[in-house]
Amino acid sequence: MVTETLQHTTAVDRRRVGLEACCDGGEDEKSQQRTTRRWKIIAAFLTTLLLACLAVMCCVLLRQNDVKRSCDASCDVISRTEYMDAPLTPFSELTVEEVETVLYHFQSNHSQFRITDVKKAGMGDNYIHMMEAIVPPKALVLDYLKRGGTLPERKARVIVFRGNATPPVVEEYQVPLSRPHMTSVIQTESRKTRVPYSMKPFSRVEFRDVFRRLIPMVVKQLGHVVKESYGASLGPGCSPKCLRLSMTPVSTAFLPPDTRAAWFWLAYDREFFTLHPLDLQFLVDTTHVDSSQWAVKKVYYADQFFDTFQQLDMSYRQGGINVTRVTFPEGPEEELYSSLHLRGKPFPEDDRPPPVTVLPHGNRFKVRGSRVDYLRWQFTLRVSPSVGLQLFDVNFGGERIAYEISLQEVAVLYTGYTPASSVLFFADSAGLFGTRMRGMLEGEDCPPHAVYLDTRMFASNDGGLKRFARAMCLFEHNTELPLRRHRAYSMTGAFYGGLTDTVLVLRAFISLINYDYILDYKFHANGAIEVSISSTGFLAASFYYPPEERFGTRIHKHVTAGLHQHLFHFKADLDIAGTRNNFTSMDIGVEEKKDTWGHDPQASRSQFFVSKTTRRTEKDACYHYNFSTPKYLLVSGGEETDLGHRRSYRVLPQGMSPPLLPPGNGFEPSVPWSRCQVAVTKHKDSETTSSSIYAMWDAKDPVVNFTSYWADDEVIENEDLVTWVTLGTYHIPHLENTPNTATVGTTVSLFLAPFNYFTEDPSMASRDAVRVSPRDPKHPYSGSVVQRYNTSSLLTCIPDFKLPDEELSEDSEDLFT
């Protein structure tokens, strides 16, 4: 049942080997300790001699060669297994044994659950869709982090598809891992834990039936329409001119009660199919778990609607339709407008590659288990199937700033003329973010010196427990932008002081069918965290008809791409100088004043002023961005300082997108969080996530209704607060979005930055800084002292990086699973 492939060698493994080789001196000493004292002395002497020789050789080599591999890089690197099998923390995901415990419980308790192995399950069976660890209540976790002791009880959250219940239902269980017989359906007010099948997320099991059932149906009843219209066919034997069947799920907002349905549409199966849509679409009622009961409800072809395939077939044969005639996009893939091969006049004209970053002395961060240490920063990372990447217990300079920071939902709201494109509303967490993070390409998705982390999780769509190679990477990055600098240039008091903004980047990609989202967490030396998300990938598109112009852009002869809005929701459970915090805004206004000292004491003029408002309740804290009322949003805590300040962090969303769909309309109730650009709620252990894996379908009766998190209007003064931030962009497609949409201009960011939190900029302690002072302040031109705080300026080595190409030529499973 539990399958795992552990055999692959990876960059991290290789790097570890490399670094161990670097540190042979240390290893030598260790083994010598086991020998006798005499030998020890001799050995120590020899080792010293050897190290001295090595140092001399290094210098010689350096002189001869200029660049060399680092010998003083930290040996403390992680390997993939160390990361996942590290000692458990309250944030750890399920271990292999814990997954087995859950499986054993559900399988052995056959009479109650009648669970089928995910590999064999059909839609009418019960099976486990996914499982993940439940983070214990915050109070217990904080207590454990402070005092240690025994780990809070480990529990799993298990989502079970119960296809053989009447009516079929999705249930969310909690399994106490040390006493699985106490398993029960989760009881909570903040979300539904029994969800009707009409709102269930995508599953491989359902897709299997889609293809098994619908493709033969289309082939049998409309094979000739398809062949004559598109010059290609569907199903077995289609080669070399094949079509692809795709699904656009329909939200319950647009369906009769208790119904599940999807629009299916055809596209040419060429790179990449979303840019080759065709005009046969059909709506199928997929409510029934027995797919033989599925029924075609509507058919769209040549810009006309039909009730059934038969009706279309009949009209087609009778010549009552202005038939569509398009041809298969033939020719080499390289020449297709939709393919990602090099084309055009290549540049540069010579073979010189682009710049790369070099680490003069190895990585300055460490990963121990899931804990990351970087200069003054420390945090724990976790990847769960449903939420994906989460940061916990984020510390700067030994103080916790955030208990949790995570991405909650990615939604894309499309528009269009044809039925399938007009009901296209994605809430991507349905695809299980954690499982969509995988297969980063070394040296391309992250710089050559990055360290990659694998994950492991249980999801039915991946056939059970599976390891995902290279799900994230960590690397230190020189932004080449000064974090601060000043050049005082006069004949007196000249000096230069500067510090480059170097950050640790934790990066993950979330790839979902056509789009790829790049999620970056960046840790700056001044105590600021930057969370940014960028989008790239392929546009979703539809067959061109003139009325489509209103809804998007024609991007090819027969293809149009619809306008859409990308929305991202983030959770930041900040703890500023303790857990008791306030949400305050510094509001910038304008007032009239008279200059009594002026030449005209009666004349009035306007000037800015700032005033402070502390939001008392949750309802006051749903922030609607208003251009006319600029403000800083602050989360503050601690005692008032001597200067009368509260230590604060500023919440700065960059890239807000106004919600234009009326609240409560259509799909909108599935993304009610998008109504507030920032919302602040009192922390509740039950209010873990603002969205759910059902959001794509659940508009009629949302499983998580974010509005209810703040509509109860709790007092938020002096409370443990959670800040929720909506970012987004509207995207009007254009020709340069083919074949791929560039990330340029798509990035939205959330900054969490200190505001009167420190008494001065903490980056003043960074030894990355440079200061130049004239030797004689009176004669700034006649020589200066350059202070680099003892950091070595010498570039001693370049990373020993090998492109993965050779390995990929043998085995590319990790990249494409």
Ligand X SMILES: *[C@@H]1O[C@H](CO)[C@@H](O)[C@H](O)[C@H]1NC(C)=O
Residues 6+ apart with CB under 8 A from 700: 251, 252, 253, 255, 257, 669
CB of 38 to ligand X, least distance (A): 36
70, 233, 581, 689: residue in contact with ligand X (rule CB under 6 A)? 581
Residues 6+ apart with CB under 8 A from 647: 576, 577, 636, 637, 638, 641, 756, 757
SS3 label, residue 467 = strand
The 10 Å Cβ neighbour count of residue 75 is 15
470, 646, 682, 683: residue in contact with ligand X (rule CB under 6 A)? 646
CB of 816 to Cu ion, least distance (A): 24
- The interface partner of residue 596, options being Cu ion, ligand X, none and the CB cut-off 5 to 8 Å by kind, is none
Residues 521-560 as x/- pattern, contact with ligand X by CB under 6 A: ----------------------------------------
Q: Which of residues 725-784 bind ligand X (CB under 6 A)?
A: 767
How far apart, in whole angstroms, are the C-alpha atoms of residue 313 and residue 311?
Answer: 5
The nearer residue to ligand X, 384 or 705, going by C-beta atoms, is 705
Residues 343-372 as x/- pattern, contact with Cu ion by CB under 5 A: ------------------------------
Q: Which residues does residue 365 pair with via DSSP β-bridges, in sequence order?
A: 374
- Residue number with the shortest CB distance to Cu ion? 731
Q: Residue with structure tokens 């001799």?
A: 42
The 10 Å Cβ neighbour count of residue 556 is 16
- Name the segment binding ligand X (CB under 6 A); options: 101-109, 422-430, 476-484, 499-507: 101-109
209, 279, 285, 428: the active-site residue: 428
Q: Which of 633, 572, 577, 151 is nearest to 403 (CA)?
A: 572
Give the single-character DSSP code of 539. Answer: P
Buried b or exposed e, range 672-697, using 16+ CB within 10 angstroms: bbbebbbbbbbbbeebbbbbbbbbbb
**Residue 637 binds ligand X, judged by CB under 6 A:** yes
- Name the segment binding ligand X (CB under 6 A); options: 18-26, 78-86, 347-355, 703-711: 703-711
**Residue 10 binds ligand X, judged by CB under 6 A:** no
Residues 160-199 as x/- pattern, contact with ligand X by CB under 6 A: ---------------------x-x----------------
10, 193, 380, 582: residue in contact with ligand X (rule CB under 6 A)? 582
Backbone angles phi, psi at 268, to 5 degrees: -70, 140
- The interface partner of residue 731, options being ligand X, Cu ion, none and the CB cut-off 5 to 8 Å by kind, is Cu ion
Query: Are 159 and 429 spatial neighbours (Cβ–Cβ below 8 Å)?
Result: no
Residues 718-737 as x/- pattern, contact with Cu ion by CB under 5 A: -------------x------
- The interface partner of residue 8, options being Cu ion, ligand X, none and the CB cut-off 5 to 8 Å by kind, is none
- The interface partner of residue 626, options being ligand X, Cu ion, none and the CB cut-off 5 to 8 Å by kind, is ligand X
72, 373, 520, 717: residue in contact with ligand X (rule CB under 6 A)? 717
The nearer residue to Cu ion, 538 or 801, going by C-beta atoms, is 538
- The interface partner of residue 702, options being ligand X, Cu ion, none and the CB cut-off 5 to 8 Å by kind, is ligand X
Q: How many residues bind Cu ion (CB under 5 A)?
A: 1
Q: Which of residues 668-697 bind ligand X (CB under 6 A)?
A: 669
The nearer residue to ligand X, 9 or 184, going by C-beta atoms, is 184
**Residue 79 binds ligand X, judged by CB under 6 A:** no
Q: Is 521 a catalytic residue?
A: no
- Residue 327: alpha-carbon gap to chain centroid: 38
112, 611, 641, 654: residue in contact with ligand X (rule CB under 6 A)? 112
How far apart, in whole angstroms, are the C-alpha atoms of residue 692 and residue 519?
Answer: 19
Residue 412: in which H helix or E strand, if any?
Answer: strand 399-414
SS3 label, residue 815 = helix
The nearer residue to Cu ion, 567 or 769, going by C-beta atoms, is 567
452, 515, 623, 649: the active-site residue: 515
Residue 195: in which H helix or E strand, if any?
Answer: strand 194-196
Q: Is 428 a catalytic residue?
A: yes
| DSSP sequence for 333-349 | GGG-TT--S--SS-SSS
Q: How many residues bind ligand X (CB under 6 A)?
A: 28
Q: Tokens for 349?
A: 């004209």
293, 641, 654, 718: residue in contact with ligand X (rule CB under 6 A)? 718
Burial of 216 (0-12, 13-18, 19+ CB in 10 A): middle
**Residue 789 binds ligand X, judged by CB under 6 A:** yes
Backbone angles phi, psi at 501, to 5 degrees: -80, 95
How far apart, in whole angstroms, are the C-alpha atoms of residue 162 and residue 115?
Answer: 8
- Name the segment binding ligand X (CB under 6 A); options: 102-110, 193-201, 373-381, 678-686: 102-110
Q: Tokens for 6?
A: 């552990």
- Name the segment binding ligand X (CB under 6 A); options: 436-444, 529-537, 597-605, 702-710: 702-710
CB of 540 to Cu ion, least distance (A): 8
| DSSP sequence for 566-633 | EEEEEEEEE-SSSS-EEEEEEEEEEEEEE-TTSSSTT-EEEEEEEEEEE--BGGGG-B---TTS-EEE
42, 52, 59, 711: residue in contact with ligand X (rule CB under 6 A)? 711
Q: Which of 508, 219, 282 is nearest to 384 (CA)?
A: 508
Buried b or exposed e, range 602-640, using 16+ CB within 10 angstroms: eeeeeeeeeeeeebeebebbbbeeeeeeebbbbbbbeee
Residues 688-707 as x/- pattern, contact with Cu ion by CB under 5 A: --------------------
47, 188, 511, 614: residue in contact with ligand X (rule CB under 6 A)? 614
The nearer residue to Cu ion, 155 or 731, going by C-beta atoms, is 731
CB of 702 to ligand X, least distance (A): 5
Q: What share of the chain is helix, strand, coil (3-state, %, to 5)?
A: 25, 35, 40
Query: Are 1 and 103 spatial neighbours (Cβ–Cβ below 8 Å)?
Result: yes
- The interface partner of residue 569, options being ligand X, Cu ion, none and the CB cut-off 5 to 8 Å by kind, is none
CA pseudo-torsion sign 280, 285, 286, 290: negative
How far apart, in whole angstroms, are the C-alpha atoms of residue 567 and residue 515?
Answer: 13
The nearer residue to Cu ion, 390 or 737, going by C-beta atoms, is 737
The nearer residue to Cu ion, 191 or 731, going by C-beta atoms, is 731
The nearer residue to Cu ion, 450 or 559, going by C-beta atoms, is 559
The residue ranges that bind Cu ion (CB under 5 A) are: 731
The residue ranges that bind ligand X (CB under 6 A) are: 105, 108-109, 112, 181, 183, 322, 580-582, 614, 626, 628-629, 636-637, 646, 669, 702, 705, 707-708, 711, 717-718, 767, 789-790
Active-site residues, by number, are 428, 515
